[in-house]
Amino acid sequence: MRSVIINHIINDIKNMNAHKKNLAVNKQVQNYIFDILKHNTDTLAKRAIFIMIELYKKQVWNDAKTVNVIASGCFNENQKVLMMACHFLIETTEVNYAAESDSEDDEAEVEISKKDTHHSKKTKAKEARKERELKRLKRRERRKSRIQLMRNFFPIDMINNPQDFCDKLFAQLKKKNFKFEATLAMMAVLGRMIGRHKLIVLNFYPFMMKYMFPHQKEIAKILAYVAESCHELTPPDELETVLKHLIDNFVNERVNDDKITMGLRTIREMSEKAPTFMDEFSLNYCAEFKNYKEKNVAAAARSLINYFRDVNPDLLSKKFRGRFDFLDKKSERKTYMYGELKINERVDGAELLQPGILYIENYSNIVRRRCSY
């Protein structure tokens, strides 16, 4: 009965906004649900946030107010409501649209199968026609989803005052004891928002280091959250401590090969987003693993070396710089410091287009001369 009532509410609001957005009623219902999330911690708040999420996925309520009402569930005392709000912010609109398009394709496939098998037997021609119709439907739904993705922002981009939101969520994460699943969900939201909005939450990295050990459960996700939170405005001192912690606990021969690979890949992702924190000793120590016996470890080390060959080859020792390092003029190299932005004065690679442009102009002149003759 409760599921029927919830589906009825969702369909009723969807039908009410089918032709035109009913702003007055939507505002009243949203305020009512916001009060429920703010003052309730029981199953009522769980059902209220479920309705909001479903209406957003169906593109009925896809405005910034809906996102902020759902995001307020991250501060609810009920951990199930908290996890639902965090998972909503982690997911992107592309995932939601893909799920909806897949379900619609399944329904279309059922309709086509009923149409083909109701009155006649199966033949090769009918099976081929069925496959063509399914491909056509999938192409149409794919085009629709691309158009919708271009028009909408991700939910995490529409949160009001993301710095204040992250500060409150991190303070809640430090003070209270949550289930490990809820802790992971809040870590994911913090890492995603810090990296996407380029925020500075300095105590986030020392807090994450308490969980960054090879024996930790879901260590791959934790390392991914740390790498995702890095950006060019993150202070290098904070990331240097994380780098030393990774080298001491992951990038050494005392741990398994899988953990070494995870550590090297994490350092590679962190360096790609914030290359100014890397020092010469740590980089060359990690580069020594390029001849390691396990191929995944060696590949991860080579990936790190290849990245710094393009960004800052001076940090690498001569044996890791490669054979083509003499082609790069040392006077043209520029190592950017913390807070310094790279400004392009011209389009990279534009000089390669000049011969082709001259050839096209000469060819067009020859064609004009032939036409005049």
Q: What is the per-residue pLDDT across 298-332, written as a single tens digit (0 to 9) for each?
A: 999 999 998 888 888 888 888 888 765 544 555 55
- Mean pLDDT score, 163-174: 93
Taking the C-alpha atoms of residue 225 and residue 257, their distance in angstroms, rounded to an integer, is: 21
- Answer whether 0.85 is exceeded by the pTM: no
One-letter amino acid at 262 equals M
- The total number of structural domains in the chain stands at 3
Note whether 218 and 307 are same-domain residues: yes
In a domain, 317, yes or no: yes
In a domain, 358, yes or no: no
pLDDT for 60 beyond 50: yes
Note whether 75 and 146 are same-domain residues: no
Domain termination residue (choose one: 51, 70, 91): 91
Closest CA to 226 of 153, 210, 215: 210
| Residues 115, 120, 122, 128, CA torsion sign | negative
Asked if residue 316 lies in contact with residue 275, where contact means CB atoms within 8 angstroms, the answer is no
At residue 144, the pLDDT reads 56
Listed in sequence order, the residues at least 6 apart from 23 whose beta carbon sits closer than 8 Å to its beta carbon are none
Provide the angle, in degrees to the nearest 10, between the axes of the packed helices 180-197 and 219-228.
20
Alpha helix ranges (H) inside the chain: 2-16, 23-39, 43-57, 64-71, 79-90, 93-117, 124-151, 162-175, 180-197, 204-209, 219-228, 236-249, 257-273, 280-287, 295-311, 354-372
DSSP state, residue 200: -
At residue 336, the pLDDT reads 63
Torsion of CA 74, 79, 85, 89, to 10 degrees: 80
In a domain, 60, yes or no: yes
Taking the C-alpha atoms of residue 338 and residue 200, their distance in angstroms, rounded to an integer, is: 14
Domain termination residue (choose one: 39, 63, 91): 91
Torsion of CA 325, 331, 337, 339, to 10 degrees: -110
In a domain, 178, yes or no: no
Q: How many C-beta neighbours within 10 Å does residue 301 have?
A: 25
Higher-confidence residue: 153 or 29?
29
Note whether 80 and 107 are same-domain residues: no
Closest CA to 259 of 291, 227, 213: 213
Q: How many C-beta neighbours within 10 Å does residue 213 have?
A: 14
Domain termination residue (choose one: 91, 111, 140): 91
At residue 65, the pLDDT reads 86
Note whether 209 and 280 are same-domain residues: yes
Asked if residue 68 lies in contact with residue 160, where contact means CB atoms within 8 angstroms, the answer is yes
In a domain, 229, yes or no: yes
Closest CA to 228 of 242, 210, 213: 242
Note whether 86 and 108 are same-domain residues: no
pLDDT in tens, 108-155: 454 555 555 555 667 888 888 888 888 888 777 765 554 444 445 688
Note whether 219 and 277 are same-domain residues: yes
Note whether 257 and 241 are same-domain residues: yes
At residue 124, the pLDDT reads 81
In a domain, 113, yes or no: yes
At residue 265, the pLDDT reads 94
Closest CA to 97 of 136, 131, 143: 143
* Range(s) of the domain holding residue 128: 95-151
Note whether 63 and 105 are same-domain residues: no
Note whether 208 and 322 are same-domain residues: yes
pLDDT averaged over the chain? 79
Note whether 64 and 114 are same-domain residues: no
Taking the C-alpha atoms of residue 143 and residue 130, their distance in angstroms, rounded to an integer, is: 20
At residue 142, the pLDDT reads 67
At residue 115, the pLDDT reads 52
Note whether 115 and 80 are same-domain residues: no
CA distance readout (Å), 313 to 220, 304, 326, 333, 348: 29, 11, 11, 9, 20
Note whether 8 and 37 are same-domain residues: yes
In a domain, 366, yes or no: no
Provide the angle, in degrees to the nearest 10, between the axes of the packed helices 295-311 and 280-287.
140
pLDDT in tens, 236-245: 888 999 999 9
In a domain, 32, yes or no: yes
